[in-house]
Structure 1
């Protein structure tokens, strides 16, 4: 048995535009610009994931989540600290 995933597979399971498995294409014009992670019209709304910063995939999804958690801690006056084993 062979299991093959194509862009159509990613599109079907994730709804990502044209089956993209990462985020936006990083071009010289955009460089390392980042999208806003909040919406001014929605209180306590934060965006994280591969579509929030160039590059995409799991690493950017995790790093944007970490950044938002740190931001929430700052806003609440709490210390943000991470641990690794």
Structure 2
């Protein structure tokens, strides 16, 4: 069994976050507009595991996961209710 974890956007991901996801997570963090974040709580990442694969989801609905080839991919969850 693998446990998930949470951390704030912009912080160093915990050791439990696989190296394969780290570069894309950092890229997403760099894209968050600083002026927007100044007026809202810092979004947090949640690492979970589905069928042995890591999935990191940001509170904003951005998801970083591994594809079938083990490459990190970034997508937006369109079912977040965030507009």
Both structures adopt the same fold (TM-score exceeding 0.5): no
| TM norm structure 1 | 0.26
Give 1 or 2: higher strand fraction. Answer: 2
| TM norm structure 2 | 0.26
Larger RCO (CA within 8 A; separation ≥ 6): 2
The structure whose Rg is larger is: 1
